[in-house]
Amino acid sequence: MTLRGSPINILSASEFLSFPLYLRCEEQHRNLEICRINMTDPTYSNLQAVQLVEANQRPTGVQLVNTERTNKHADPMDLVALAQTIQKADEMTKARVGSKLTVIADQIRYLQEQAKKHLEDAKRDNIIHHAACNLVKRPGTMYYMYERESGQKYMSILSPEEWGASCPHEFVGAYKLEYDLSWTPIEEVAEKSQEFALIDKILNAQNAIMDSSEFNLGLTKNSSTASVKDVTNESS
């Protein structure tokens, strides 16, 4: 006996519970035989066990007339379709969780890179602040670091171009002191200035929107008041 191209093995009642996936086949006679799909078939080799709802012969305390008819499967292939649906749901769950975890992992790597950069910038700023300097450092000013033969590093307001060929010591780098007392290398000054300009533009646009909203509300209020006064004057 075959079931849609799949071999069927007839089992005894004692073997019923030993198989995770089983089907009930109703034959033409009154006796109900227990059968299962051959799980060695490659078509069903990857299916998972299906957990069915427990049968109850007395639901809400009422005895059923025919429990076999109540608990009967209309189509023996329904369990196969159910197992395939569960398997597909498991695969989709794994894929969905995997994609979310990938995004979180990318964010973690980005945060690690940012933390490393901030630590390196803090270390650089600390070295520059502790460099020898006879001047009072003022925010917004560009300072130039030089190194003597003795290894001492010091800050100056004279650039190598201003020194010309008479520059007495080795030039290390140029840094701009920001208003938060952080240092920006000269090669990053233009990029940082653009960022500050963009921030100022956003803030100014937001303030303009807020001022415009207040202005419109004021006009509405004044026009409404004027209309009421006009109506009052006309009625009088």
How many of the other CB atoms lie within 10 Å of CB of 128?
A: 21
> How far apart are the C-alpha atoms of 70 and 62, rounded to whole Å?
13
| Higher per-residue pLDDT: 133 or 8 | 133
Q: Is the pTM of this model over 0.75?
A: no
pLDDT in tens, 126-168: 999 999 999 999 999 999 999 999 999 999 999 999 998 888 8
DSSP letter string, 31-80: SEEEEEE-TTSTTTTTPPPPPPPPP-SSGGG---S-HHHHT--S-TTHHH
Structure tokens belonging to residue 31:
């006796």
Between 48-62, 77-91, 142-156, the lowest mean confidence (pLDDT) is in 48-62
- CA gyration radius for the chain? 41
Q: Which amino acid is at 144?
A: Y
> How far apart are the C-alpha atoms of 147 and 169, rounded to whole Å?
6
Please determine, for residue 186, whether its predicted confidence score (pLDDT) is greater than 80.
yes
**What is the reported pLDDT for 87?**
86
**What is the reported pLDDT for 157?**
95
Which residues have CB under 8 Å from 218's CB, separation 6+? none
| Higher per-residue pLDDT: 146 or 208 | 146
Burial of 11 (0-12, 13-18, 19+ CB in 10 A): middle
Q: Taking all residues of the chain, what is their mean pLDDT, rounded to a whole number?
A: 74
Q: How far is CA 171 from CA 125, 148, 176, in A?
A: 17, 9, 15
The one-character DSSP state at 178 is P
Please determine, for residue 180, whether its predicted confidence score (pLDDT) is greater than 60.
yes
3-state DSSP: the chain helix, strand, coil percent, rounded to 5?
A: 50, 15, 30
